Structure 1
């Protein structure tokens, strides 16, 4: 199995701690500074400028995590839907201005949806119509800017449901994201397929992966190797995929990035590289 190049999710100030590791190998970076209302409305220009400065000299791929709190992309309130679209368009502007070519958004599908899909007339069709109303202008803007929206599994039980949503747009500006920890939680809590099967189902639509480990109980965002995910199976599925997704460690504790990367490297799954400044300073103490 060929080792894969992985990067990390970081905020602007955190990039410097891992700069050598990220920049020397051109690793994927996902910036997580544009996820909130305040980030998109207060100090926006300064935040964009800071991101461009922090990324100067980086030759890898860049994405951002889009806003999501309170912004359900299938919101039933007709008055709120245009506000959600506007918020996502503002985040897409940020992505474009800093040179990011992906924006992560959250899936609207849950275990409740999956269990009740036949309980209400036209439930699936109405939900999909609301998603198209909200995301349609954002997908078109992504097409114009060359930015892909990647829809991340949150509480999804059936990966093919989210894949069908992406396919329904018929656009190269929307694709799939997989969060390994969320998939594992869905497996434990709701009988979802194994994480590797999420990857296999995504196929050529897979454009982005959050790498994080869990214990099967909560959304831990631990370093790979600290939880129960079957990493060899996941990376075997990634290696078999025809796509080339952004692969980024999304850890609560950014100081664990070297440890998580090292665990994957030691399994022969990740391409090796230099330690970050943080890892070097920690090992010298």
Structure 2
């Protein structure tokens, strides 16, 4: 299943973004943040898209060692789960981060607590979620496959661009994943370029996708790049 994230139209209101995507794709991932933050399901129900949601990430940290921040982060993601349940959409979340490099052990314990709470909430609501691997930053969790035990068996959203930044795309492609984010870069910055504009070799990604039932979402920075990427990817996995 191939679709597009509203991230490519993040600078316009969500209604305008969805209207632009109507003639382009039947599968849309809503970047539930910024101008596309969802307070209800009303707008989504006006369209017939097959949705997924990317839960809010800006200001959210499920690994925070400050209990009020951690609890609030879980509540924010739970609100995204509630909306997802109404439109039968899977959800992507971020794993959180340590506030300083030396604090990762304590933050990891809180992340596991948050994931357990979110797992219970997801089960109650009938929602599935995956946890996204992160780009190169020393405070982030889930930057390489060695971090997978930290998410306690919850599903993986493989972000191809992030994996390439951490020089471990091949290793990530060898592990199970249920969701995939597709974008390009030059290995140093999280550029979210259109497929083919960076240096990633997508051949093994396409091979893996042809064997997988994972939802593949193009998550690039602009609409033109999303259209170009959609055309390129369709030609390799159809």
Aligned to 2:145: 159
Residue in 1 aligned with 2:127? 147
> What residue number does 2:216 align with?
247
| 1:87-102 correspondence runs (5 A) | 87-97=76-86, 99-102=87-90
Q: Which runs of 4+ in 1 moved over 6 A?
A: none
Q: 1:105 aligned to 2:108?
A: no
Higher helix share: 1
Whole-Å separation in 2 of the counterparts to 1:246 and 1:12: 23
In structure 2, relative to structure 1, the CA distance for the partners of 1:198 and 1:211 (3 Å cut) is same
Equivalent of residue 265 in structure 1, options 205, 219, 234:
234
Pick which of 14-23 and 87-96 moved more. 14-23
What is the Cα-based RMSD across aligned positions, in Å?
A: 2.5
Choose 1 or 2 for highest CA Rg. Answer: 1
The answer to whether the aligner puts 1:224 opposite 2:198 as a matched pair is no
Name 2:171's counterpart in structure 1: 197
Aligned equivalents of 2:194 and 2:217: distance in 1? Answer: 12
Q: How many residues align?
A: 224
SS at match of 1:178: strand
Where structure 1 has 5 or more consecutive residues not aligned to the other structure, the ranges are: 188-192, 272-285
The offset of 1:136, in angstroms, is 2.3
Alignment of 1:183 onto 2:163: yes
Give the TM-score normalised by the residue count of structure 1: 0.70
Deviations 1:10-68 (A, max 9, x none): 24422332323423xxxx32111x2259935xxx24xx2111102x3x4x4x2101011
| Contact 1:199–1:238 (8 Å) recurs in 2 | no
Match of residue 213 from structure 1: 184
Gap change, CA 1:37 and 1:160, over 3 Å in 2: farther
Displacement of 1:9 after TM fit? 0.6
Structure 2 residues not aligned, in runs of 5+: 7-13, 136-141
Could you tell me how far apart the structure 2 residues matched to 1:136 and 1:74 are?
Answer: 12
